[in-house]
Structure 1
Amino acid sequence: MREIMGVLGRKDQEEYIRLGEKALKLNKVLALSGPLLTGLAAIGSAFAGHSTHGSWAAMLGIVGGALASAVNTVEHGGQIGMVFEMYRSNAGFFQYMQESIESNLTETDEERRENGEVFEMKVALKLGRSLSDLRNLAASSSLKEEHLDEFASKLF
């Protein structure tokens, strides 16, 4: 179980935190770009009637409005904020799994500790693996800690 905890922390949780940070950065860029482009479109349309800069201002208004519309569609239609929350939730699930395993391993009172085989089965089911698959993962992670290509969870 300690090997599974290590894989959860090194691979699964770390990967979802990394992906969550990327989704958050993308969401921030889109959240700032949408209003900025809308403002540019408004400025361009305000100056579109003047003869000296009319064609450039009209083009700025059209392009700015179209880009603002595209950015808002990607931001809201793609639900980038919800993708971030999903990654954050998955990372929290892996943290919970690590704490659950650690709690069971360090419990000194045998009455409060879960049965080893039953607990192993619960962990395997929560990670979408068979019991033999979980044991194989634990064995392979103890042999080559640094270069493990496999994630503990097969669900997400």
Structure 2
Amino acid sequence: MLSLRYKRFEAYAGLPQHVVKENIITAYENEQIPYRERKAPPHMMYDIEHEQIILASDGVECSLIYVSNDPFTRLFQSILGTSTRTGGITLVSAKYQNRCELQTVMSYIHEDVWRIRQHHRFQFALLLELLNKQKWKRLQRGGSS
């Protein structure tokens, strides 16, 4: 159980929510870390259909938030009928006490997880992708987030 004193890591993963979930569950099982899974309501800013998936151990709580589009873009996509053509990426929001456990769990996610520009919403977001890359690389190196 996480106490009131925790740190936070947030970064986009250029993978669908279910893939990130499978990778984190694989990490917990391979490392023999007990975990719990639960769901939370969708995050309105990112997607209104997909629930958040929360995977928590004693040292790390990962919220996996499906990101399709912002509400304004979703409105136009529904009017134009293009909403089914879009995939999603995942916002990984982790609260942690044990940075080593966080690094271990996140190391099971695809190597170039920081690549987000293949998603249409982020195709021109070069600066965001570079900042996202820095966050993932800093986590891998063990620096502060």
Question: TM-score, normalized by length of structure 1?
Answer: 0.25
Q: Pick the structure with more strand per residue.
A: 2
Structure with the greater alpha carbon radius of gyration: 1
Q: Pick the structure with more helix per residue.
A: 1
Bigger relative CO (Cα 8 Å, ≥ 6 apart): 1
Question: TM-score, normalized by length of structure 2?
Answer: 0.27
